[in-house]
Amino acid sequence: MKDNHRSGPLDTSALHLLHRAGQCAEVLFTNETSKSDLTPRQYAVLVCVGQNPDVSQTGLVEQTGVDRSTLADVVRRLVKKGLLQRKRTKLDARMYAVRLTAKGQNILNGVKPQATKVDQRILSVLRSDQRGTFIDALGDIVRAMTRAATPAGRSAVG
């Protein structure tokens, strides 16, 4: 049964509800993966690097939606933890190619089932026939907002 009580305009604000849902998801992720000491952003970077060895940091920005300066900090922290290694590319000495270390692959392999469990827990609040539509709608929002780039070439999301 749905609670029809509305406490105000925030209850119908997509911006606010997405933010709150993100906060809840982050808490679930942190609780489930506390032993790994990874944030959801760090996990996303590890997943992308695992799928794309020697990806550039620019490529990671495009794939994760994390802004450049934050991504550089995330990569720096993951390198310091020994989970990633980066080296200058042969084609452009200004760019870094990033790849998982053996330790990074092990951590990623250990956290993936926990991250899947978090996804399942989040989706479990919806009826099974709503889950695919929900994921599709979130993907539509992300793709549309990503295309809505600012004139400076920076993504509208980050």
Q: What is the CA radius of gyration of the chain?
A: 18
Evaluate if residue 139 carries a pLDDT over 50.
yes
Give the residue with greater pLDDT, 144 vs 153. Answer: 144
Give the residue with greater pLDDT, 83 vs 11. Answer: 83
Q: pTM of this prediction?
A: 0.83
Percent of the chain exceeding pLDDT 90 equals 65
Instruction: Give the mean model confidence (pLDDT) for residues 101-113.
Output: 96
Q: State residue 1's pLDDT score.
A: 45
Q: Model confidence at 137, in pLDDT bands (50, 70, 90)?
A: very high
Backbone dihedral angles phi then psi of residue 87, each to the nearest 5 degrees: -145, 155
Characterise 44 by phi-psi region: left (phi > 0), alpha (psi -120 to 50), beta (else): alpha
Lowest mean pLDDT among 26-40, 70-84, 87-101: 87-101
Evaluate if residue 2 carries a pLDDT over 80.
no
Contact 82, 101 (CB under 8 A): yes
The mean predicted confidence, pLDDT, of the chain is 88
State how far the Cα of 28 lies from the Cα of 119, in Å rounded to an integer.
9
CA distances from 58 to 69, 77, 85 (A): 11, 17, 15
* CATH code matching the domain that covers 13-147, chosen among 3.30.465.10, 3.40.50.1220, 1.10.10.10, 3.60.20.30: 1.10.10.10
